[in-house]
Structure 1
Amino acid sequence: MKHRSAFILGLAAAAAGSPAAADLKIGFLATLSGPSADVGQDQYDGFMLAIEQMHGKLGGVPVSVVREDDQMKPEVAVQGLTKLLDRDKVDIVTGLTYANVLMALQGKIASTKIPFIGSVAGPSPTAGAQCKPNLFITSWQSDTTAEALGKYLTDAGVDQIAILAPNFLGSKDKVTGLKRFYRGKVVQETYTPLTQLDFSAELAAAGSSGAKGMFAFFPGSQGVSFVRQYQQFGMLQKLPMYSVHTIEPGSVNAMGKAGIGAIVAESWQPSADNDQSRQFVAAFEKKYRRTPTSFAAFSYDAAMLIDAAVKDRGGNVSDSQALTAAIRNAQFKSVRGDFKFNKNNYPVQNYHIYKVVEGQGGKPEFQVAVRNVLARHGDAYAQACNAQAGA
């Protein structure tokens, strides 16, 4: 079975002659197969780039990485995590791609003291009453990018929208976030199976709904299919697209001109104007021959966070609770510039609005339309969290 074929990558350890020579063992559990495998691959590539830049070490300590594919299936993820914890004896777990998968791991996370650092999934329960002292998220809580888009739509006077998204917890969180800030009317709200790739019926219904805009969220290859069909149906001309995590730098070339004109919300894009982001984008493009997505960027940040925390511990990773405290308090250079953890171990950060435009040579680019539409913004659930009390 593919998810059982984990392998160890230890750059510095390999140089020493054996992966077992590594002093820090990290489990990377993510969606690496199926329709959304590109999201997990972006996470992995961003994380491994940081380790490569630091010559196979984090915090000065040689690293090995044990990779497990959850296949976007909760039961497979539980099996993979059990292996990482019980057989591989990892010191840290990172990756964590989909909200429904992360929710299935909550019992396992609660049963151990080792730190978990997710770089995509951010389901609302884990930010509020079910938060945990050893669970950190470097991306965003699932509501927040849609909150930024909801504020933009309200400010722009778009008074009627249709909603189309896959049927899982991450989507429901995003729609909740959108509605928290959107003051117009939702005339249609439709959820599709998580693996659906044909949206012709849903697009036809949205086109006749009376909406003045479409809010869409479809990650990975779903997003490519959705955006292409949106153009084929001529929807952009009559129903502007407003999206989160659907049109990404890694997939926009596959979409061609289909996504040009769309409005997206995000806390980071490759055009971010700071030195850490610029060097990351250049290094990622040189190594992987593609433009990084936010999924890669937030995973790169996860590695930089671990690097800072291990340094603060003087390289000692044997005390899981002390390492967790070091992660919570670590200062590192984020690709986003301003970044800090809220009391629930979720980010407080800035969110921006981008327009997809035709750039040089006809290549789609993400142009800032509104900077800091939500500034130093934390999620709506943090006040229900008492994570640090159990640290």
Structure 2
Amino acid sequence: MNIQFGRRHALGLAGGVALGGLASPLVARAQAAPLKIGLVALATGPAATLGTHLRDGFQLGMRHLDGKLGGRAAEVILIDDELRPDAAVTKVRAALERDKVDFVVGVVFSNILAAIMRPVTDNQTFLISTNAGPSPFAGRGCNPFFFATSYVNDQNHAVMGKAAQDAGYGRVMLLAPNYQAGRDSVAGFKSEYKGTVVDEMFTPLTQMDFSAELARIAAARPDAIFTFMPGGLGVNLVRQYRQAGLANIPFLSAFTVDEASLPAQGDAAIGFQTGTSWTPTLPNERNARFVRDFEGQYSYVPASYAAHAYDASMLLDSAIRKTGGNLADKGAMRTAIKAADFQSVRGNFAFGANHFPVQDFWLAKVVKRDDGKFQTEHVRKVYDNVTDPFAAQCRMPAA
């Protein structure tokens, strides 16, 4: 069973035949039209690998659930947002109005999430972000129809701010793309780092040549750099960083060296550190099964984009099961989603009052496995069962 962009795929078959006249409620539900999930997964441009991880993670969850959510057959409609907010809004509106999707799931980049938030939630359709977590939506902009299975953008970066502080790095330079998640990354790092920030460098989201920024780093000779450069941006930055002879300056990051970019970064990334809510090596049974089956199915090592999307499929399954497959009662569905009654690949997981996870965070580093593949492995837990700093600002409005 393979999912391809631009097509609809029934990921389960409604089954059951009524015997002896009238169908039971369970059989009637089984014969109902499949649930529809609009899966927003970037498939265009240098960062498309992130969308592939997201798509395949959700797809594996559906395989583990035999193509059903809460016992009901499910159909996934894939939406390539093209990393263009206008295109994302147009396609998502079509999924809502023409395809009548029951849930919208996914989204890699925060500018895309910001663009589709209102169209989805104003339609009273539940939107579940599996990656993007802009801080405004965790605080005063929290929404009864929005949940995230990932994190608030700031949090992974705060992990690295604390790691830099703990390591005694007195002078650090910061490098990030100039959009909401990039600004959140810098704010997150600085929330925990108390040393001197030598320079803050913001680059266009499409920039692939970092020679000017690397020259500034070489001239300043900081104790470390911290960067957030996802996807293809991170591939180029890591390669150029090594080529520039800067590897003696510790490279701290989030979403820059991960399983989505490591195949292209290769040996250049070994030993570089990252802050994360998940790694393939986290020691729990659910995670071991997820990683093993993912690699067996897709022949590459999953990144957090895949892990959080996998969790989203399990979250939906648990919520729809709790409501008996009834999607009409939005209040009951919201309560069922918030219960988060599933086993996460991360271990500890619950929703806070703002519908963002309460979870653990880790310091991790890049390693090369015996089979020649690269992955991140957890080094130590930095935060235990932590709530994001914006939750206190959320006054969840009535639906």
TM-score w.r.t. length of structure 1: 0.94
Larger displacement relative to structure 2 (334-343 or 349-358): 349-358
Corresponding residue of 1:140: 151
Deviation at 1:64, TM superposition (A): 0.3
In the alignment, structure 1 residue 76 sits paired with structure 2 residue 87: yes
Corresponding residue of 1:377: 386
In the alignment, structure 1 residue 334 sits paired with structure 2 residue 339: no
Larger displacement relative to structure 2 (239-248 or 353-362): 353-362
Does the CA contact (< 8 Å) of 2:179 and 2:205 recur in 1? yes
Quote the Cα distance in structure 1 between the aligned partners of 2:92 and 2:252. Answer: 36
**How far does the alpha carbon of each residue in 1:147-174 deviate from its partner, in whole angstroms, 9 at most, with x for none?**
1111111111011111111111001001
Counterpart residue identity of residue 334, structure 1: S
Quote the Cα distance in structure 2 between the aligned partners of 1:360 and 1:213. Answer: 29
Deviation at 1:231, TM superposition (A): 0.8
Quote the Cα distance in structure 1 between the aligned partners of 2:286 and 2:107. Answer: 24
Counterpart residue identity of residue 269, structure 1: T
Larger displacement relative to structure 2 (113-122 or 317-326): 317-326
Deviation at 1:363, TM superposition (A): 4.2
Number of residue pairs matched by the alignment? 381
Q: 1:215 aligns with which of 226, 238, 261?
A: 226
Quote the Cα distance in structure 1 between the aligned partners of 2:102 and 2:321. Answer: 15
> Percentage identity across aligned positions?
40
Corresponding residue of 2:334: 324
Quote the Cα distance in structure 2 between the aligned partners of 1:368 and 1:282. Answer: 17
Larger displacement relative to structure 2 (169-178 or 28-37): 28-37
Q: 2:215 aligns with which of 204, 217, 221?
A: 204
Does the CA contact (< 8 Å) of 1:118 and 1:136 recur in 2? yes
Does the CA contact (< 8 Å) of 2:50 and 2:260 recur in 1? no
Corresponding residue of 1:153: 164
Structure possessing the higher radius of gyration over alpha carbons: 2
Residues 110 and 229 of structure 1: CA distance in aligned 2, closer, same or farther (over 3 Å): same
Residues 344 and 361 of structure 1: CA distance in aligned 2, closer, same or farther (over 3 Å): same
Counterpart residue identity of residue 308, structure 2: F
Corresponding residue of 1:124: 135
**How far does the alpha carbon of each residue in 1:64-103 deviate from its partner, in whole angstroms, 9 at most, with x for none?**
0111111111111111111111111111100121111111
Larger displacement relative to structure 2 (316-325 or 257-266): 316-325
TM-score w.r.t. length of structure 2: 0.92
Quote the Cα distance in structure 2 between the aligned partners of 1:325 and 1:35. Answer: 38
Does the CA contact (< 8 Å) of 1:30 and 1:69 recur in 2? yes
Q: How does 1:1-391 map to 2 (within 5 A)?
A: 6-13=6-13, 22-237=33-248, 239-360=249-370, 363-370=373-380, 372-387=381-396, 389-391=397-399
Quote the Cα distance in structure 1 between the aligned partners of 2:15 and 2:325. Answer: 19
Deviation at 1:360, TM superposition (A): 2.2
Does the CA contact (< 8 Å) of 1:236 and 1:261 recur in 2? no
2:157 match: secondary structure = helix
Quote the Cα distance in structure 1 between the aligned partners of 2:307 and 2:330. Answer: 25
